[in-house]
Amino acid sequence: MDQIRIEKLQVYAHHGVFPEEAKLGQRFTVSAVLCTDIRRPGLSDDLANTIDYGAVCREIVSFMTENRFQLIEACCEQLAERLLLTWPDVLNQVDLEIQKPWAPIGLPLETAAVRISRGWHDAYLALGSNMGDRQAFLQGAVDHFREDPRTRVQSVSTFIETASYGYTDQAPFLNGVMRVRTTLSPDELLDRCHEEEQAADRVRKIHWGPRTLDLDILFYDDEIIGTERLVVPHPDMAARDFVLKPMAEIAPWKVHPVTGKTMARMLRDLEEAGNAAE
């Protein structure tokens, strides 16, 4: 990834745990690596096609002087998000370091520093509903994700009606998939999905039972995640045509990081297996 680098920008601010730090302030230095595509501005020689690092420096100074944090960890985290949300179309990732020279710890120390790397991530979410106004529940979730600056909706599949899966004694579902670009971590994205389900008054009584809104993380970049609360890629995807059909519609080229198959290939495999069974 191409980079624009800002080295040791000096800012006088009032961050720290101790009261005298809040009152008197101190000097901080900020370094940032802006990961972006430099090909276009490199060919055009036009500032409009790149990230104005002068504007980034001014944004950093403004953020650090207008806010106060006890921890430079919090300052660094929220500054990284501010930069990503300010330049979402051109800034893919930011590596940020905040140094606190002569931190007041009572020992000879040149500097204490926090360094983080944050960026936009590519995720696919499955949507389903089989209660009430199914179309409204699905479209409402899409709209709410569009309104959240941390999740930029890239594409949404056609909503298709399918028979219930697992627990079959229930109404048919309306299903779809949306692709989002997000600054949220996998666990944060899962929490965001649960918030959306709760807003739709989803009730969890029966496994695979009726629901107003169901949101599942299918992919998060090409990560393979297996924790107690989250498994990605979604483990039962290969058997679900109501997932593979929408995926094949909006991202037929997407490769499953475990099977190595594209969504189009996985859908064909499922359809061929179904035909063979008949």
Residue 171: pLDDT band by 50, 70, 90 thresholds?
Answer: confident
CATH number at residue 232: 3.30.70.560
* 37 lies in the same domain as 128: no
pLDDT given at position 203:
59
pLDDT given at position 45:
94
In DSSP terms, 101 is beta-bridged to 111
* Domain boundaries, position 185: 121-277
Q: Is the pLDDT of residue 207 over 70?
A: no
**Choice among 8, 23, 100, 261 that is catalytic:** 100
pLDDT given at position 277:
45
* 198 lies in the same domain as 113: no
Residue 278: pLDDT band by 50, 70, 90 thresholds?
Answer: very low
Q: Is the pLDDT of residue 204 over 60?
A: no
The number of residues making up the chain comes to 278
Query: Average pLDDT in the 107-119 region?
Result: 92
**What is the overall mean pLDDT for the chain?**
91
77 Cβ neighbours under 8 A, 6+ residues apart: 116, 118
Predicted TM-score (pTM) of the model is 0.89
185 Cβ neighbours under 8 A, 6+ residues apart: none
* 45 lies in the same domain as 183: no
* 114 lies in the same domain as 227: no
Confirm whether 100 is a catalytic residue. yes
Could you give the percent of the chain with pLDDT greater than 70? 94
233 preceded by cis ω (within 30°)?
A: yes
* 17 lies in the same domain as 138: no
24 Cβ neighbours under 8 A, 6+ residues apart: 14
pLDDT given at position 12:
95
Residue 169: pLDDT band by 50, 70, 90 thresholds?
Answer: low
Q: Is the pLDDT of residue 170 over 70?
A: no
By DSSP bridging, strand 231-232 and strand 225-226 are: antiparallel
Decide if 2 contacts 52 (C-beta within 8 A): no
Split into its structural domains, the chain has a count of 2
* 225 lies in the same domain as 254: yes
CB-based burial, 109-125: b 16+ in 10 Å, e otherwise: eeeebbeeebbbbebbb
CATH number at residue 98: 3.30.1130.10
More confident residue, 16 or 169: 16
Task: Classify the C-alpha dihedral 133-139-142-148 as positive or negative.
Answer: negative
